[in-house]
């Protein structure tokens, strides 16, 4: 609690005009304050005391985030990328706080919503934390003041992919709350692509390839990840989409069985979706290709 209060005070000092001239900003101190942005993980916990601790700390974390977010539009990060790495990881971690199926409005500026209105709308602490975290990620992506925008976007896509892969899940089937977190991450990536496709399209295509290679070899995880990949890929530029599909076709020849199966699942979603748009000639070609893929997996 004291750490969160100290971090809030420091972020408030950084927002004072002229603070940079007086050397208030220091990378190490900034990272220490960012590191204080953590609350108990209650997503996979049934411990009542942890939930009580979360409810006690959440208001302080929200207040600290509200002091931090305005900085993200103009703060200059150090060149070693360690600050960016820590900041994006913390924001992505907080983005997974809300595990209900409540929809997050990424266009809504939560900083401008007063506390009374939040109470009237009955927003939970976890929902507010998640909304503020995604708003902070949007600030990082869309700000024109950062020279490290590509680096920032790579880190954001990397850490959000952990939600898509459901890395915290230990057993199957995957609980609905983790799928809700995954869906929010997918929605945010699609939203960001729609608003900043020039910057994110190629980076997202690369991130999707890495994600495809990290999916756990269990049907539940493959289905969850393939739905996410299929949803995101159609927000890419046409040339990036075509290149990604070509990469999936090459992945079918991988020596890893799990990679081949996952590529087939994603392409299966693609073919089912485009089935009604195919001409008769294209349909015959598709049937032939699927038959060849079937032969590929026949035991000999």
Kindly indicate the confidence band of residue 249, based on its pLDDT and cuts at 50, 70 and 90.
Answer: confident
Q: Are 176 and 102 in contact (CB under 8 A)?
A: no
pLDDT at 186: 95
Closest CA to 209 of 249, 169, 257, 180: 249
Instruction: Check pLDDT > 60 for residue 39.
Output: yes
User: How far is 235 from 233, CA to CA, in rounded Å?
Assistant: 5
- Other beta carbons within 10 angstroms of residue 201's beta carbon come to 18
pLDDT of the residue at 300: 45
pLDDT tens per residue across span 87-145? 999 999 998 888 888 888 888 888 888 888 888 888 888 888 999 999 999 998 887 65
User: So what's the pLDDT on residue 154?
Assistant: 92
User: Residues 227-241: pLDDT tens digits?
Assistant: 999 899 988 998 898
163 vs 183: CA distance, rounded Å: 9
């Amino acid at each position: 609690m004291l750490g969160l209060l100290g971090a809030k005070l420091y972020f408030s000092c950084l927002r004072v005009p002229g603070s940079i001239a007086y050397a208030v900003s220091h990378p190490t101190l900034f990272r220490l304050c960012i590191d204080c942005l953590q609350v108990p993980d209650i997503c996979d916990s049934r411990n009542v005391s942890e939930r009580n601790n979360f409810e006690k700390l959440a208001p302080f974390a929200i207040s600290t985030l509200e002091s931090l977010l305005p900085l993200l539009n103009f703060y200059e990060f150090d060149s070693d990328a360690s600050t960016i790495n820590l900041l994006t990881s913390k924001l992505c971690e907080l983005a997974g706080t809300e595990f209900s199926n409540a929809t997050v409005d990424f266009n809504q500026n939560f900083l401008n919503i007063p506390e009374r209105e939040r109470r009237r709308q009955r927003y939970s602490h976890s929902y507010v934390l998640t909304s503020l975290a995604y708003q902070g990620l949007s600030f990082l992506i869309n700000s024109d003041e950062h020279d490290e925008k590509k680096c920032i976007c790579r880190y954001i896509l990397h850490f959000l992919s952990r939600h898509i892969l459901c890395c915290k899940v230990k057993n199957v089937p995957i609980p609905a709350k983790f799928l809700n977190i995954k869906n929010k991450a997918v929605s945010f990536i699609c939203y960001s692509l729609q608003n900043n496709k020039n910057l994110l399209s190629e980076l997202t295509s690369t991130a999707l390839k890495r994600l495809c290679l990290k999916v756990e070899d269990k049907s539940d995880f493959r289905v969850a990840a393939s739905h996410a990949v299929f949803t995101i890929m159609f927000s890419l530029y046409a040339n990036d989409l075509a290149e990604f599909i070509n990469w999936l076709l090459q992945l079918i020849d991988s020596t890893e069985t799990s990679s081949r199966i996952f590529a087939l699942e994603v392409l299966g979603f693609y073919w089912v979706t485009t089935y009604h748009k195919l001409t008769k000639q294209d349909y015959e070609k598709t049937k032939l290709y699927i038959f060849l893929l079937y032969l590929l997996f026949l035991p000999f």
